[in-house]
Amino acid sequence: MAKVNEHYRKLSAGYLFPEIGRRTRLFQESHPEAEILRLGIGNTTEPLTPAIIEGLHDGVERLASVETYSGYGDEQGSADLRKALQAFYASRGVELETDELFISDGAKPDSANIQSIFSQTSIVAFQDPAYPVYVDTNVIAGRSGEFNQESGTYDNLVYLPCAKENNFFPDLPDERVDLLYLCSPNNPTGAVATKQQLQKYVDYARKHRAVIIFDASYSEYISDDTLPRSIYEIDGAKECAIEINSFSKFAGFTGVRLGWSIVPKELVVEDSEPGEVNRLWFRRQTTFFNGASNVVQRGGLAVLSKEGLSECRQLISYYMENARIIREGLVSLGLSVFGGDNAPYLWLKTPGNMTSWEFFDKLLEETWVIGTPGSGFGPAGEGYFRLSAFGHREDIEEAVERITSRLKL
């Protein structure tokens, strides 16, 4: 008799976004006149830039002739694209070998799959609040106990709270952990770790032979050059850190799908030689994945070209100007706002100690604007609220105008 993977049953449900959808639908039904604006989701809205469209067209054209046609490529990605990424990192002072780079169909799948190369018995730590994929995939893999309604946490997982007091970057765990997920710039808080903060984690990881899984999906939103865009800017990180990144937020590839991971050969864990973890990820990818689309990889190459990079910088400035507009509006109301300087998310302390969901309802009812309750990203997100800077300028301006004129504080 077949049985299901019972760990799926532990998942506290895909509660957040379906619940936002449910409340939004109910509100729309009772207020058919309301034009709802969404500042809730982390999805890009502006079109791909000309150089990238050209790269994608080139990818399609190549499939049209027998001289340039290609079928399956290397599972770890085309040599061209890995070389271009190598050069991209080198321009920032990070030296990588091309076989330390693995192209994928996105940072979500990589951040979900990477845990599978580590021991079942690993003790896993997460920033709280965090992108839900890290916790959920470790639950599915059986590394957690049951979900605890009262605390909003899973037993046997280690939560590292991020709050105003620690500038939304967690203190080191006080117990020994094996895998550590860090995301900087952070979704949802918009906080960016400094070099000193990451150095502490790298030192901890080297001392305990732990592995840091560093999600840098928003690295291109960093404008402050003193802040690290890659964990490999930190001394010793190649011994203990895997970096995951994506073209999604960088170049608007959310629907196109392309990402990459870096597993340095120097990386070692308690029972491995240098190189083994890199080979395991290669094995995992070649077994479970058949490579990113060849058309899309031509698009990725175009992103990394001189024109592509400059166009993407403009695209990012557009979203960051949205972030500035949102921030200014919220601050003018006297609200406490974090993030939004080097990340496309604003993290707002709910006024009057409202819960995240209470504020969701209030914002929707009074301004017809949708945001994301902070508590959906982990218990430390309670009392906070995320607004996203991804949107068309006129919608952002309209939302901010409504918030500043209609929100009753």
Ligand X SMILES: *Cc1c(COP(=O)(O)O)cnc(C)c1O
Residues in touch with ligand X (CB under 6 A)? 42, 106-108, 111, 131, 183, 187, 215, 217, 246, 248-249, 254, 259
Of residues 16 and 354, the one with the C-beta less far from ligand X: 16
Q: Return d(Cα 179, Cα 213) in angstroms, integer.
A: 7
CB 245 within 8 A of CB 252: no
Of residues 213 and 363, the one with the C-beta less far from ligand X: 213
What letter would DSSP give residue 407?
-
CB 267 within 8 A of CB 240: yes
Cα-based torsion angle of the residue sequence 116, 114, 384, 147 in order, rounded to the nearest 10 degrees = 0
Minimum distance of ligand X from residue 351's CB (angstroms): 26
Of residues 133 and 280, the one with the C-beta less far from ligand X: 133
Amino acid at 239: E
Minimum distance of ligand X from residue 230's CB (angstroms): 15
Of residues 86 and 254, the one with the C-beta less far from ligand X: 254
Of residues 247 and 368, the one with the C-beta less far from ligand X: 247
Minimum distance of ligand X from residue 401's CB (angstroms): 27
67 backbone dihedrals φ, ψ, rounded to 5°: -70, -35
CB 156 within 8 A of CB 145: yes
Minimum distance of ligand X from residue 251's CB (angstroms): 11
Minimum distance of ligand X from residue 107's CB (angstroms): 4
Of residues 258 and 269, the one with the C-beta less far from ligand X: 258
Instruction: State the residue number with the nearest CB to ligand X.
Output: 106
CB 376 within 8 A of CB 392: no
Tally of helices (H runs) and strands (E runs) in the chain: 12, 15
Question: 261's torsion region: left (phi>0), alpha (psi -120 to 50) or beta?
Answer: beta
Nearest CA-CA partner of 368 in 143, 38, 18, 110: 38
Minimum distance of ligand X from residue 271's CB (angstroms): 29
Query: What would the DSSP string read from start to end of 362-406?
Result: HHHHHH-EE-EEGGGG-GGGTTEEEEE--S-HHHHHHHHHHHHHH
What letter would DSSP give residue 7?
G
The number of beta carbons lying within 10 Å of the beta carbon of residue 156 is 13
Minimum distance of ligand X from residue 217's CB (angstroms): 4
Quick one: tokens of 149?
């309604």
Of residues 158 and 183, the one with the C-beta less far from ligand X: 183
Of residues 136 and 215, the one with the C-beta less far from ligand X: 215
Quick one: tokens of 180?
């550590």
Minimum distance of ligand X from residue 106's CB (angstroms): 3
